[in-house]
Homo-oligomer: A and B are copies of this chain.
Amino acid sequence: MTTVTVWNEYRHERENDTVGEIYPEGIHTVIATALESEGFETKTATLDEPEHGLPEDVLDETDVLMWWGHAAHEEVEDEVVDRVHQRVLDGMGLIVLHSGHYSKIFRRLMGTTCSLKWREAAEKERLWVVEPSHPIADEIDEYIEVPEAEMYGERFDIPAPDTLVFTSWFEGGEVFRSGCCYRRGNGRVFYFRPGHETYPVYHDETIQRVLANVASWAAPNDGPTPDFGNAEPLEDIEMTDDRSVH
């Protein structure tokens, strides 16, 4: 059974009435509840808990980590970022949501600024499926419509995705690569764009369907754990003079 830990900054919900009304118990609770109904084991963790709710033992029991952050990326301790980064390279799935594009962990894994254009105008977004055979598009129609969204527009400064699943159209005239798959180390990373805190996006059943699909896709496989470092030859080598300086 796959265990998903949903991490949330959990500040806006407590400090802003609009957000608080939409997510009274936090974005993480809505997502975790939705995933449980899809058969996932879930945990939640938030910024203001000790070690941001992500001590070693929690990560030990986590197959897939979802990450929602926005205003407090810099408050996330580097030690925790290092820990999560290592777990991803070891095989843990990571799903980065919406404004998490600017999180330390996503920028660390991408190696770029992850900058983009943005606008808050309650405009319409339409996420088009460009790779319908991908499991993340299971049971999704040709597009997902989000009636009111914050706009994110290209240029999105990321490495070209290994697989691009969704591309967004925005009412104001922009496009965006809004569903991006990556492999990093032994782990899988997915960036999913929707989810501004002032709109009830994570209450949407189709969005919840995508999150469940992503969690299934990102779960660790049982592939080989590579050996790194000095390796004995597998074949006979015609040795010449040894020039090792190690």
A242 → chain B closest CB, angstroms? 7
A188-216 CB mask vs B (1 if < 8 Å, else 0) is: 10000000011100000000000000000
* A235 close to chain B: CB less than 8 A: yes
* A61 close to chain B: CB less than 8 A: no
A-B contact pairs, 23 of them (CB 8 A): A16-B245, A19-B245, A110-B111, A116-B228, A117-B228, A119-B231, A119-B232, A126-B173, A128-B155, A133-B221, A133-B223, A139-B223, A140-B223, A141-B224, A142-B226, A157-B185, A159-B182, A160-B183, A162-B162, A169-B174, A171-B237, A173-B233, A173-B235
State in angstroms the CA–CA spacing of A89 and B111 once bound together.
9
Which single residue of chain B is at the shortest CB-CB distance from A19? B245
* A39 close to chain B: CB less than 8 A: no
* A14 close to chain B: CB less than 8 A: no
* A168 close to chain B: CB less than 8 A: yes
A121-153 CB mask vs B (1 if < 8 Å, else 0) is: 111001011111111011111100000100101
* A109 close to chain B: CB less than 8 A: yes
A217 → chain B closest CB, angstroms? 10
Sample of 18 more A-B contacts, CB < 8 Å, known A164-B164, A173-B235: A18-B245, A113-B228, A129-B223, A133-B183, A133-B185, A137-B221, A139-B223, A148-B240, A155-B228, A160-B162, A162-B162, A167-B177, A169-B175, A172-B237, A175-B175, A197-B245, A198-B244, A199-B243
State in angstroms the CA–CA spacing of A164 and B154 once bound together.
13
A237 → chain B closest CB, angstroms? 5
* A239 close to chain B: CB less than 8 A: yes
Contact B241 A187 (CB under 8 A): no
A117 → chain B closest CB, angstroms? 4
Known: A120-B246, A123-B233, A185-B113. A155 touches B132 (CB 8 A): yes
Q: Which of A133, A183, A230, A240 has the most CB of B within 10 A?
A: A133
Residues from chain B with a CB closer than 8 A to the CB of A246 are 120
A99-116 CB mask vs B (1 if < 8 Å, else 0) is: 000000000111111011
Known: A113-B89, A122-B239. A164 touches B160 (CB 8 A): yes
